[in-house]
Amino acid sequence: MSNISPGAIPASDDALASMESKGLSFADLGLDETTLRAVTAKGFTEPTPIQVLAIPRLLSGDANVIAKARTGTGKTAAFGLPLVQELRGDRQKPRALVLVPTRELACQVAAEVDSFRTETWPRTTTVYGGASIVDQLRTLRKGVEIVVGTPGRVIDHLERGSLDLSAIEYFILDEADEMLNMGFIEDIEAIFGRANPEARVLMFSATMPPAILSIASNFMGEYEIVEEESRPEEAVLTEQLYWMVREDDKTEALVRLMDSSTEFYGLVFCQTKADADAVAKELDERHYQAAALHGDIAQSQREKILARFRARKTRVLVATDVAARGIDIEGLTHVVNYALPYDGPTYTHRIGRTGRAGAKGMAITFVRPEERRRLGYLRNQARGELREGQVPSIKNVLDIKRERLMSATSVELARFFPNGDEPAASAVSPELRAFAERLTEGREALDVLSAVLSMQYGSELSSDHYGEIRAMRAEGQDRTHVRLYVGLGRRDGMTRRGIAQFFRDLIGVPERLVDRIDVMDAFSLATLPAEAARAALDLSKQKRNVPHMHIDVRDGPAEFHSGPRKGPGRGGPGQRPYGGRPYAAREQGGRYQRGEGEGAGAYGGREGGAKRAARTYSRGPKPAGRAPAGGTPVGAGAYRKKTGE
């Protein structure tokens, strides 16, 4: 952190950057013999572009560096190797601090840096929340040279006085943009304020947002920006498919994928912690070895979950993007995007976890019908390799499982018949042969064997294990249903079932006919039979105690409205309906008032009792079911008359 006036020295055109294609070795970067032995032991052969750019700068000179580098480009070694070489010897105080956004990444970085060490020093430790602070205090008291930690726990130790950064020589921020996205900017600034102002700063970031440059100008003084040559993300060995699946059918599709795969060992990505828990629980209930991983799980439990997954005792890890960041698992066969990622880099980062080290992998993305328009963007990220696939039918899945069992059984059986038709003398014990004779006494041997196979594999090969997946209609051909926007969301305590109950109570449509429900913070989307949708729209236009609704004419979630459209008495764009108050329909008598603590499931809680009052919703002031002057019922009344409600 030099006192030189702030300024950036671009270095992307540095000679080193242009030399990376000329066969540079690690020895050419200035690493000594001891460090080179560690490199050889790790199996590294050639440095990556970011290592070519960063290692010489850290080993010579005193410049601060911002390195723009993607995940998976070898950036841990880019700063880890110089640290191991430069920090040999005990100075009684920490000499380097590496800040990372997550606990998993802290453990991974520390383990990688420690693997470069061939001598006693430098010693490395991790400090992060969710783990025993007593153990961390004990390790810090013993003395370490390199501290790898998350911002929150580093600040905790600074305030306790257990961590002294006054003598650090290197201050490294790994995945700086991700830390800013997670809201750590104030913590980072506070840590800078307690650190040695003369320490060299190295910041790694996949992107270069203004906040990164702001930190650089405030704390780094003069700095260089280095950037590896921009190249498209490679996914050559990863087959990329998308399946068109309704939200309610995703878990069934996942189960069929797992059962039709030879050796499924994969990551399933969800957007929220609640979704990760729900998917893992459903898989567990269906007897699949699955576990959830997200930020609410205690660190001790997270480590156990990862240990079981690495040992393949758990075959499916259902995770959020943040929780999975920094997890490096070898041999993954599948990555499943249970929910469509928000952006291209997230998609690329997810699928890059399979198809590594020369092994083939598969990435499956579940796409809801209303998300079709986002496929073009994902195809651009996939470099045109994203193809549509089909969810395998139950028959196909069972055929694959039978063939797999037949092959495995035939291989095992061949051990008992090494000479063809004659079994080996010692292949079967006399006791088991006597058992077989008793079972086949008076019965055909083929019938007995079939019965034994049925007992062993019958339930596994039963179609009862699977549920139906509704056929997808061709895009644009369904005129019998309408997708509605309704101004009720999570802030109003709504859930998917709550939305279905809302329409049931409003117009009498059965809950099972309210389909494809998506609940957002300030609004929800739901698909209804066309006539039911028209009745609901009619009531929304005529009655102020019914939340705003309109037909959703767009497919992609990224294009959904963030609030009700502007209109008389409805508020402007971005406003909550009716002045932002939680929805509480207040007919005469307050029948639809929602009480405290009832939750979304009790939406429309009835005052004073459990019986439904007669509804009087219709066009204008006329009660439902009563015909206007022309004699034909309209609005909700017409819908009720048609459906016999």
Q: Among residues 522, 524, 551, 523, which one has the least CA distance to residue 536?
A: 551
From CA 198, how far away is CA 336, in angstroms rounded?
A: 46
What does DSSP assign to residue 463? Answer: G
Q: In the chain, which segments carry CATH 3.40.50.300?
A: 7-227, 238-392
Burial class (CB in 10 A: 0-12, 13-18, 19+), 621: exposed
Question: What is the structure's pLDDT at 415?
Answer: 79
CATH top-level class of 7-227: alpha beta
Kindly tell me the sign of the dihedral angle through the C-alpha atoms of 193, 194, 197, 202: negative
The domain defined by 481-612 carries CATH number 3.30.70.330: yes
Give the pLDDT score at 254: 95
Sheet order of strands, 549-551 included: 515-519, 524-529, 481-486, 549-551
Cis omega (within 30 of 0) for bond into 423: no
For residue 472, the 8-state DSSP code is P
C-beta of residue 229 within 8 angstroms of C-beta of residue 49: yes
For CATH 3.30.70.330, the residue range(s) in the chain are: 481-612
Spatial distance between the Cα atoms of 324 and 316, rounded to a whole number of angstroms:
13
The parts of the chain modelled with pLDDT lower than 70 are 1-23, 61, 70-72, 181, 228-237, 322-323, 325-326, 342-345, 355-359, 373, 376-377, 380-384, 424-426, 472-479, 553-645
CATH number for the segment(s) 238-392: 3.40.50.300
Q: How far apart, in whole angstroms, are the C-alpha atoms of residue 140 and residue 162? A: 7
Report pLDDT digits (tens) over 452-491: 888 888 877 888 888 888 776 554 445 678 889 999 988 8
DSSP assignments along 483-523, one per residue: EEEES--GGGT--HHHHHHHHHHHH---GGG-EEEEE-SS-
User: From CA 205, how far away is CA 181, in angstroms rounded?
Assistant: 12
Closest CA to 247 of 350, 338, 337, 373: 338
Dist. CA 100–CA 188, nearest whole Å: 10
pTM listed for this prediction: 0.48
pLDDT in the model for residue 137: 92
